[in-house]
Amino acid sequence: MKAKKIIFIIIVFLLGLGYGGFILMKNTISENIKSDESEVKNSWVELKNNIIIKNNKLIDSYSSDKLLVNIVSLALQSNKEIKKSEFCNLDIVEKEFYLNQELLSFKLSNSKLNVSLNTLIEKYNQEVLLFNRKYRSYPNRFFFKRFGYKEKEFFYLKYGEENKNPKKKKEDILNSFGI
């Protein structure tokens, strides 16, 4: 009888310890998720603000030129999409892709600005890579989904260079991994 009581106490203690460990792990992962997402968000805000500045300069510079009306239109569309976004998405990257293509076709690309933007893109994509790796790992994936987090989108573009359409590029990358 005494042995059963001791075993019962040990089982209750171990269950309590296991539950406490689970809660501690959940809270730690939750804080890490918030911190990691914050890093992605900060990088995105810096990149998107610089894209908006670039697009505003294009709008100001070319709004009176009838030949460059498409550039102004694309810059306006891109700014509208960027301003309402919390994180990067393929629609934004695709609009910037077409704008970049137009600028290249008219040889209007600003190399200093492109280098600056491309550096910010590399920083942003690095943050996304780190976040997505953690998102895909066990047990993080369970908690990420449970807390409503999603993988973040890469910015598939290099300014001032010929690029593949970002939607096609993403499709090619996923196909190369058999996804």
| pLDDT digits 0-9 by tens, 11-42 | 877 777 676 667 766 677 777 788 889 999 99
pLDDT of residue 9: 78
Domain boundaries, the chain: 32-176
pLDDT of residue 173: 81
C-alpha to C-alpha distance for 130 and 104, rounded to whole angstroms? 32
| pLDDT digits 0-9 by tens, 57-112 | 999 999 898 889 999 999 999 999 999 999 999 999 999 999 999 999 989 888 89
CA distances from 42 to 71, 74, 109 (A): 28, 25, 26
CB 151 within 8 A of CB 134: no
Q: What is the pTM of this model?
A: 0.82
| pLDDT digits 0-9 by tens, 132-178 | 998 888 777 777 778 788 999 999 999 999 999 998 888 888 788 77
